[in-house]
Amino acid sequence: MRKKIVAGNWKLNKNLEEGLSLASEIINIAKDELHNQAILVINPPFIHLSSLQKLIPQNTNIRLGSQNCYHQKSGAFTGEISAEMLKSVGVQYTIVGHSERREYFNETAEQLAQKVKLLLEVGITPIFCCGESLSIRESGSHLAFVAQQITDSLFDLSVEDIQKIVIAYEPIWAIGTGKTASSAQAQEMHAYLRNHLAQKYSQEIAQNISILYGGSCNPQNAKELFACADIDGGLIGGASLKSRDFITIAQSF
């Protein structure tokens, strides 16, 4: 059975005090009102990880995540954060290859493959992001384009390791725009990607990999998206900054 996951990507938002208060609200509301099996992942800026780790109680479905890591293990890379460092402060999930990082920081498919490998080595679950731009969708090549992103960064993984990955499909034209993919568009892509994984690995393995949808997912549209056969949850940006909205999304399975 694949996991149901709702991950909040805080991006470059919230100072420490605001972050602690948002996380406390999420933890408290989830304790009282979230009774399904969904795993909630909170991905704050790096600098808040240690403080938030102390807030998250044991034996809950709430996990700590980061938004990125560096693609080298250690060394003279001023300002960077390694997978091993993240592990040492309690990180369990890391977002890899968000479209903002691919675009603004020129992250390449090879670097993303390296990040995934380093994260798996220390036992952190990568949330691997993929997704097409509007022009690619309009050209009709979106299915092949996104499948190729998965081939390029994930298909060197062993049968054991591919099953430790979470994939997040995020059409770039839907991120932060308020323009969600329709549930039919999202389901079509998710089913296509699952089939792509099945062809490389096996049907059984593909059925075990959680594929999340991201891009203007909110309390109003989450139910319809999560009801799709191949959508296993969401990667949430804007709506993860409001505790009530984030939990309502997590209640939408």
Least distance (Å) from ligand PGA to the CB of residue 238? 4
For this structure, is 98 an active site residue?
Answer: yes
Q: List the one residue from 136, 162, 206, 217 that touches ligand PGA (CB under 6 A).
A: 217
Residue placing its CB nearer to ligand PGA in the complex, 68 or 201: 68
Contacts of residues 175-180 at CB distance under 8 Å and 24 or more positions apart, as own/partner, are: 175/99, 175/100, 175/131, 175/214, 175/215, 175/216, 175/237, 176/216, 176/237, 176/238, 177/215, 177/216, 178/216, 179/215, 179/216, 180/215, 180/216, 180/217, 180/218, 180/221, 180/225
In the complex, the smallest distance separating the C-beta of residue 143 from ligand PGA, rounded to whole angstroms, is: 20
Q: Least Å distance between CB 69 and ligand PGA?
A: 16
Work out the angle at residue 182's Cα, subtended by the Cα atoms of residues 178 and 183, and round it to the nearest 5 degrees.
Answer: 125
| Between 119 and 238, CB nearer to ligand PGA | 238
Judged by CB under 6 A, does residue 65 bind ligand PGA? no
Whole-number minimum distance, CB 239 to ligand PGA, in Å? 6
Q: Does 9 bind ligand PGA (CB under 6 A)?
A: yes
Which residue lies nearer to ligand PGA by CB, 120 or 214?
A: 214
Identity of the residue, 129 or 201, whose beta carbon is nearer to ligand PGA in the bound complex: 129
* Token pair in block for residue 220: 């109003």
Which of 64, 69, 181, 235 touches ligand PGA (CB under 6 A)?
235
d(CA 230, CA 195): 10
The nearer residue to ligand PGA, 113 or 175, going by C-beta atoms, is: 175
From 48, 98, 142, 196, active-site residue: 98
CA diameter of the chain: 48
Active site residue 190: no
Shortest gap between Cβ of 137 and ligand PGA (angstroms)?
16
Q: How many residues bind to ligand PGA according to rule CB under 6 A?
A: 13
What does the alpha-carbon distance between residue 165 and residue 210 come to, in Å, rounded to a whole number? Answer: 8
Long-range contacts of 108-116 (CB under 8 A, 24+ apart): 109/149, 109/152, 109/153, 110/153, 111/71, 112/71, 112/153, 113/152, 113/153, 113/154, 113/156, 114/71, 114/72, 115/69, 115/70, 115/71, 115/83, 116/153, 116/154, 116/157, 116/165
Is residue 220 part of the contact set for ligand PGA (CB under 6 A)? no
By CB under 6 A, name the one of 19, 97, 131, 214 that touches ligand PGA: 214
Q: Is 215 in the site for ligand PGA (CB under 6 A)?
A: yes
Active site amino acids: 98, 170
Contacts to ligand PGA by CB under 6 A = 9, 170, 175-176, 214-217, 235-239
